[in-house]
Chain A
Amino acid sequence: MDFPSSLPPSLFMTGPLGQSDVPDLSFMCSWRDALTLPASSPQGSQDRAPHVAKDLLWEPDMPGPLPLLPPGPDPWDPGLTAKDLLFRGGYQFRRHPRAVLDVTEQVSRFLWNHGDIAFAPLGRLLLENFKLEGAHSRSKTKTVVSVKRLLQDLGGHQPWGCPWAYLSQRQRRFSILGAPILSTSVASLLGELLHEELALRWERLLLDDVCTGGALAWVPGRTPGAGQLVYPVGSTMDTLCFQKVSLTPESEPQVLRDPGRIQLRGPVRQVVTRSVQGEALLAVRSDHHCALWKVSTQGQPAPLQVLQVDKGATGISLSPHLPGEMVICSRSGAVCLWSTEDGLRQIYKDPETLVFRDPSPWRWADFTAHPRVLTVGDRTGVKMVDTQGPPGCGLLLFRGGAEASCQKGERVLLTQHLGDLGPESLHPMLHLVCTQFSVYLVDERLPLVPLLKWNHGLRSAPLLARLLPPPRPGLPQPLLLAGQGGELQLLHLAGAGASMPRLAGLPQSLPTRSDSLSAFPLLEPKSHRKLQERLKAPTIGLAAVIPPPASTPVLSLFQLSAAGDVFYQRLHLQADPGPNAHDPAASWTPQATACCSRWLEALLEVPLAPPVWAAPTFSHRRLLGGFEPQKVEGPVPEGLRRAMAQGRLLQQRDLGLVPPEERPPVPEPGPEDELSERLEAAWEFGAAAWWERRRGGRVGPGKQPKRQKRRTQLSSTFSSLSGRVDLSDAVSPPPSPDRTVPEARPQPPRTPPSQELTQEPWAQGVPSERQQTLRDYMAELPLHADTPGGASTLSSQTPSIRATPLGQHAPQDGTFQQLPQGDTAEGATLPSSQTPSIRATPSRRHTPRDSMVQQLPRGDTPEGATPPSSQTPSILTTRSGSQRLRKKPRMGF
C-alpha cells in the first residue's frame, strides 16, 4: 500500500501538554498543507495556478434545517442550565469570572420546598420545646416557645431573605435557640450530598459524553436512494425507530409511513451501522446493554445478540472487515470484542488512563486497517492494541502531549477510524481524533505525529463525526463534525492514495437548527421561548448521505436532537464558485414555511412537562386548631375582588389610591451637561461645530496618533479588498478599476480617512434612508467611543437588584427544586453576596400561608429526594466513587 513518499515537515517534541516554548508549526492555517514543498523540483509549484479549485463549498438549499417528522407526543424538558447551578454573585473583583457552584441557594430552596423532609425529624426531637395550640404546657422554662405567637409574628409581610427585616423579640429568641441546631445539622448533612450531586450535574452540563458517537444512523436499502433512519424515540429514548426514507437528488426526502419500532429496556445512547460484505448490521448501545441486529435487504432487523455491561458501556463500534464483529468499551476500563464465532472476549483492560492520570472513566475503541488490531482510546490518548498479541501491549497512536502540540487541559473526546470508503477515498489507515480544541488526522503507520491539525473552534464538544465518500471522483471527501450544541462544521479532506491528507480549502460551517427559527410563524413569547428551547436542544445524532450521482452532488444531512426531533437539510456542491457566488441566495420556500407551521402546530399541542414540584396539600391548621389566618382587610383587596367579579380592568381609583398630582421635577441641566448640549446641537444641525468646539479644548494622549496610523496602514490592505473608496495614505495598492462597490455611498467630504472603519457594523439594521443621516452624525463624533465616561454610564445602568431567575421548566428531580412559575414575590431577593450565610439561616419572616409548610409527595422518603436511579447513579455510590478518586494523586496537566 502506498505511503506518502514525502511527509510535511514537522517538529517532534516529547513532553506533557501545554509546553509553550515549542513553536506549533501547524500554524492553524487552513492552506498550510497546500503549500508543502514539491519533492522533486520547483517546476511543480509553478504549474499550479494560485486559485485552482481551492474554494469548495457545499451550499445549503435553505437557510436552516427543516423538521423531517412531526414532534413526538411526549413533552420535553431542557433540564438544568448553568443558571440553576452556578453562583450568581461575587464577580465584581475578578478579572476573569469563574464558575462556583451555588450550593447555598440549592440548599435554601430545598429547605423551602421540602422543609418537612429537612426539618421533620428535628422537629420531632424538639417537640417538647414548643407549645402547640391545645397542648397545655405548665412549664415556665424559657425554652418553650409558643408556636401560635411565633407564626403570628411571622404574619407580617417580610421580604424573603431580607437581612434588614424586622424581627420580634420572640423570633429573635427562637432564632438564637434554634439556629445552631437547625442550620448546622441540616445544612451539613444535606450540603455535602447536594454538593456532590451538583458537581455531577455541572460536569454533565459541561460535557455530556453519554451520546458520543451519535444515536442516529442510516442503513442503506436495496436501491441507492432508499434507506432507513434508525434512532431512538419516546420521552425516555428507549424505543428504537426504523424510519424508511427515500432520497432523490431533485426533491426533498420522502418519509414512508408506519415506521418499525423496537421497545428496549434502557435509553438508547449510540446507534452504529455498517455494511460488511453486503450484510447490513446495526449495533445499539444503552447505558448497561449493547445489542446487535442484522438488517435484511428488505430492511427487517433480526436480533443477533444482547450483551449486558454491568459497569456501564461507553462506546461500541462495528468492524468494517468482518461481519458481525463488535467492540464494546466499559467504564471499568475493559474493552471486549464480540464476534458470532468466538463470542465475547476481553482484549484489553486497564482502569488507569493511557498517558497521564485523568479521572474520566470514558473509554472508546474502534477498528483499524488490520482486522486484528484495535484502537483503544481514553481522554488522554489513543493506543493500538493487537488482539492476538500479549494483553496490554501496543503502540500509542495519539498522545495528549507535546507530540501533537496539545494545549493545557486538552482531552480526547472522540476517535474514529476513517475506513475504506471506495477507491478514490482517503487512505484506510487514517484515524480521526477530536479534542475540544482541534481535529487531528493520524496515520497508523506514523504514530504520534499528526498529519493534519485543524483548530475547529466549535463552541461545544464535538462528539459526532461522519466521513462521507467523495461526491465525485477526484473531489475531496466531506468530513462532518457536529458539536453537542448543534454547530456543524464540514471539512474538505483531500489526498487519496499516496498523497498527503490535507484540507482542500477552508472548512465551512453549516446552518444550525436555531437558524431555522425564521421559518416559523411569529408566536407569542411563551411559545416562542418553547420553540427556541426546542431548536436549541443538544444534537445527539448525525447521519449524512450522498444519494446517487446527479448533475451536481447533493448531500442530505439528518440530525437528531435530544428532544427527539429529526431535522434534515440538503446541500449541493459548488466547486470553485465565482467571487459573487456567496450572496445569501438561500431563502425559505413556501413549502418549507408550511412544513414548519405544521410542525409547530403539533409541537404546541404537546402538553407541558408536568411540574415536579407540587404545591403542598396540607397546612398547619391541623396542628393549630384555633389559629385563624390574619384577615387582610382594606380597600385594596376589596377593590381587587370587585374588579375581578365584574371582569373589568383594575384601575387606580378602585384601590383607593390617590394618583400622584405632580410630576417629578425636571432635572436642571448642570453646568457640565454635555449630552443635552450635544443633542441640542444635533437637532439644530450644528453637531459638527459643537464637536469642533469640544475638541479644541482637549488633546488626546501622545500614543494615539501613532497607533492610529499603524492601523490605517493595515486597514488599507483590507479596504482594498472590501471594495471601499480608500482615502487613507498612499501605501495601499491602487484600486483596480473593476472593483464592485456594493455598499459605498458618497462620503461626506469632511470625513477624516480613518473614520471609515467604524461605519459598517452600526449601519446594519438601520433603515437605509436613515443611514445617511446617521453616518453624517457619526462623522462628527470622535472616532471611538472609548472615553471612559461613555462606557461607565452604560454599565452603571445595569440593575443592581436582581431577581432570582426562575426557570421556566420544572427540574427533573426533587433535589433541584425551583420555585413555581410566577412566584416572583418569594423569589425576589437582594444580592446577598456579601452576606451569603444569611440566606441559609431560616430566620426570615414569612406569611404563614399554605406555601410555608409542605407535604411530601406520597411514598417519598428522604432518600427519594435523590434522582431516580435509572437516570443517575444514587448519591451513595457517587460519593464513594468520588472519594476514592480524590485520594488518588492528581497528575492532570
Chain B
Amino acid sequence: MSDFSEELVRPTTEDEQGEPCVRSGSGMCFPWLQNHIESIASGGKQEKDFAQTTSACLSFIQEALLKHQWQRAAEYMHSYLQILEDTDSNKRQGAPEIIWRLGSEILYYHPKSNVETFNTFADRMKNIGITNYLKISLQHALYLLHHGLLEDANRILTQAETWRYGEKSSSQEVLITLIQAYKGLLQYYSWSKKKMELSQLDKDDYAYNTASQNMLNHSWKTSINLCALIQIPGVWDPFVKSYVEMLEFYGDRDGAREVLNNYAYDEKFPSNPNAHVYLYNFLKREKAPREKLISVLKILYQIVPSHKLMLEFHRLLRKSDKQEHHKLGLEVLFGILDFAGCTKNITAWKYLAKYLKQTLMGSHLAWVQEEWNSRKSWWPSFHFSYFWAKRNWKDDKTLACEKALVAGLLLGKGCKYFRYVSKQDHQVLKKKMKQMKKSVKKYSIVNSGL
C-alpha cells in the first residue's frame, strides 16, 4: 500500500466513549465514516456477536425513541442492559452514560412511567456509573423539581453535594458548585414562600419574630450556596436574580450592586443583555440618578439596540438636559426601527414622528441627516414601500399615519407612502391628516434641502 495515502487519513481518535471516529485530512470528523468502512471491511477482525447484538439493540432503541414508540424503546432497553456485562471494558464504562441518557428519556415520556420508577432508575444508575453521579443527581433533581417535589429534589441535591470520588477534577468542581447553586435556589423558593407568609402576618405578632428569624437563617445558607456559582463565567440568570432579591431584602445594597456589576461588566462573562437589564432595574429601584441609569442603558443599547427598554432609554434621554443625550435619543429611535421585528411597533413610530418633528423644529437638521444618510438607501423600500402603505393602512390606521408623517418628513411629500396615506379619506383621522400634511410641508428635510 502506498505510504502517502496514510497521511490523508489520520489514525483513529478515540474519545471517551470509545466510539471510533475518524477524521479526514482537514481535521473534520465524520460520524458516518464508520459505515463506509464497515461496508468494505469484509475480512479481518470482526466484532463479536455480543458487540453486534448490543449495537443493533442500541440503534433499535434510538429508532424507537425517534418514532416516539416508548413501549418498544422500553422493551429494547430491557435487553440493552446486558451491555453492562460486556467484556470490553471500554464499552462497559461508556455504557452507563448511554443507558442513563436513553433510559431517562424513555422514562420521561413513557405514558406508564411515574416518579417512583424514575427514582428507582436514577438511584441505581448513579451507583453504576460512578463518574456520572453528579450529572445524574442534578438531572434527577430537575426532574423532581419539574414534578413539584421540592423536598425530594433538595434531598437529592444535598446527597450529591457531599459526594466525592477520586481526585477532584475541575469538571467535578463545577458540577458541585452548580448543584449547590440549585440547592440555593430551592432554599430561595422556600424563603420567598416564607416572605409571602410574613407579609401577611402582623408585625407585632409573636409569630412574626420566629418567622423572620427563620428567614435570616435561610438566607445565610443560601447566599453561601449561590455566590460560589456566580463567580464562574456563565449565564446564571435565575441564580443572580434570586440572590440579589435576598440581598436587597436584608438591606445589603452594596453587596447586591457588586454582584450585578460583576455579572454585567466582567469580561470573562458572555455579553448577556439580561445582566444589564437586572442592573438597570436594581438602580431604578434604588432611585439612582438619571445619569447613572443612562450610562447602564447606553451599554445595553450597544449590545441590543432593539431591546424593549430602549423606548424607556429614549424617554430618559429626552428628559435629560444635555444636547448629546437629545441626539442619542434620536439615534436610539432610528436604531429600534432598523430591526425587522420592530417594524410594527407603534410606540416607536409615534415617538419617532414626534421627536423628529421636535428635532427639526429645534433646527437640528444635521442630526437627522446624519441618521438618515446611512438609511436612505434602504429605509424607503424597507418601511415606506407602496406595499406597506397599503398593508399598514388596512391593518392599523394609526400606525400608517405615524409612519406617513415620518416618511413625509424624511422623504418629502412625493414619497409613495405619504402620498398613499394622505390620499385616503377617513373621517376620524381627518384632523390628524391635516396636521400631518402641514408638518411635512413645513419641516421635511427634503424641502429644506432645496
Contact = CB atoms under 8 A, between A and B. Distances in A.
Contact of B238 (A6, A22, A371): A6
Given A12-B235, A31-B105, A448-B270, A50 B82 contact: no
Contacts of A772: none
B308 interface: yes
B45 A12 contact: no
B11 A98 contact: yes
Sorted nearest first, the 4 A-B pairs with minimum C-beta distance are A892-B27, A409-B29, A91-B44, A579-B111
A756 B78 CA distance: 9
A711 B68 contact: no
23 contacts: A3-B273, A3-B274, A11-B233, A27-B101, A35-B143, A55-B68, A90-B44, A91-B45, A96-B22, A98-B12, A203-B26, A358-B28, A359-B25, A372-B338, A436-B30, A459-B31, A506-B66, A507-B66, A509-B67, A582-B68, A711-B82, A718-B74, A722-B74
A89 B44 contact: yes
A420 B342 CA distance: 11
B120 interface: yes
Contacts of B235: 7-10, 12, 446, 449
Which of B2, B38, B39, B82 gathers most chain A CB within 10 Å? B2
Interface residues of B, number: 144
B9 A100 contact: yes
Contacts of A411: 28-29
Interface string B299-336: 00001101110000000000000000000000000000
A408 to B, nearest CB: 7
B109 A506 contact: yes
Contacts of B81: 711, 714-715, 718, 757
B174 A11 contact: yes
Interface in A5-19: 5-13, 18
A321 B387 CA distance: 13
| Chain B at the A interface: SS class | helix
A460 interface: yes
Contact of B31 (A10, A99, A436): A436
B160 to A, nearest CB: 13
Interface stretch (A528-536, A672-680, A786-794): A786-794
B15 A321 contact: no
Interface in B1-47: 1-2, 4-6, 8-9, 11-16, 20-33, 35-46
Interface string B58-79: 0010110111111110111111
B394 interface: no
A205 B84 CA distance: 36
B241 interface: yes
Given A82-B36, A582-B69, A97 B270 contact: no
Contacts of B385: 277
Interface in B106-125: 106-114, 116-117, 120-121, 124-125
A81 interface: yes
A154 B280 CA distance: 92
A489 interface: yes
Contact of B45 (A92, A715, A892): A92
Contacts of A732: 120
Interface string B265-306: 000111111100100000000000000000000000001101
A320 B111 CA distance: 42
B408 interface: no
B388 interface: yes
A786 B50 contact: yes
A816 to B, nearest CB: 15
Contact of A41 (B21, B27, B50, B193): B193
Interface string A497-526: 000000001111100000000000000000
A160 interface: no
B26 A97 contact: no
Contacts of A760: 75-76, 78-79
B120 A195 contact: no
Contacts of B50: 784-786, 791
Interface in A836-858: 836
A890 B98 CA distance: 34
A721 B112 contact: yes
Contacts of B46: 795, 798
B362 interface: no
B377 A409 contact: no
Interface stretch (B145-153, B200-208, B409-417, B431-439): B145-153
B270 A449 contact: yes
A57 B68 contact: yes
A715 B277 CA distance: 49
A1 B342 contact: yes
B232 interface: yes
Interface string A87-124: 11111111111111111100000000000000000000
Contact of A94 (B40, B45, B128, B239): B45
Among A320, A409, A447, A717, chain B packs the most CB atoms within 10 A around the CB of A717
B185 interface: yes
Contact of B341 (A89, A428, A578): A428
Interface string B142-176: 11011110100000000000000000011100110
A802 B74 CA distance: 40
Given A98-B37, A388-B374, A408-B13, A27 B8 contact: no
Contacts of B237: 5-9, 39
Q: Which of A704, A714, A784 has the most CB of B within 10 A?
A: A714
Contacts of B308: 1-3
B178 interface: yes
A388 B306 CA distance: 18
Contacts of A579: 70-71, 111-112
A109 B46 CA distance: 28
A461 B29 CA distance: 11
A88 B270 CA distance: 49
A606 B59 CA distance: 36
Contacts of B381: 322-323
B304 A582 contact: no
Contacts of B255: none
A731 interface: yes
B113 A721 contact: yes
B89 to A, nearest CB: 12
Interface string A28-51: 111110111101011001101011
Nearest to B19: A96
Contacts of B124: 710, 713-714, 717
A23 B135 contact: yes
B250 interface: no
B199 interface: no
Contacts of A86: 36-37, 40
A13 B233 contact: yes
Contact of B103 (A342, A485, A718): A718
A723 interface: yes
Given A31-B108, A91-B44, A489-B66, A409 B21 contact: yes
A29 B43 contact: no
B234 A372 contact: no
A17 B384 CA distance: 46
B303 A98 contact: no
A139 interface: no
B339 A202 contact: no
A626 interface: no
Interface in A445-495: 445-449, 457, 459-461, 485, 489
Interface string A318-360: 0011110000000000000000011000000000000000111
Interface centre among B21, B78, B104, B304 (most CB of A within 10 A): B78
Contacts of B14: 96
B450 interface: no
B178 to A, nearest CB: 7
B57 interface: yes
A248 interface: no
A371 B8 CA distance: 42
A640 B306 CA distance: 87
A794 B6 contact: no
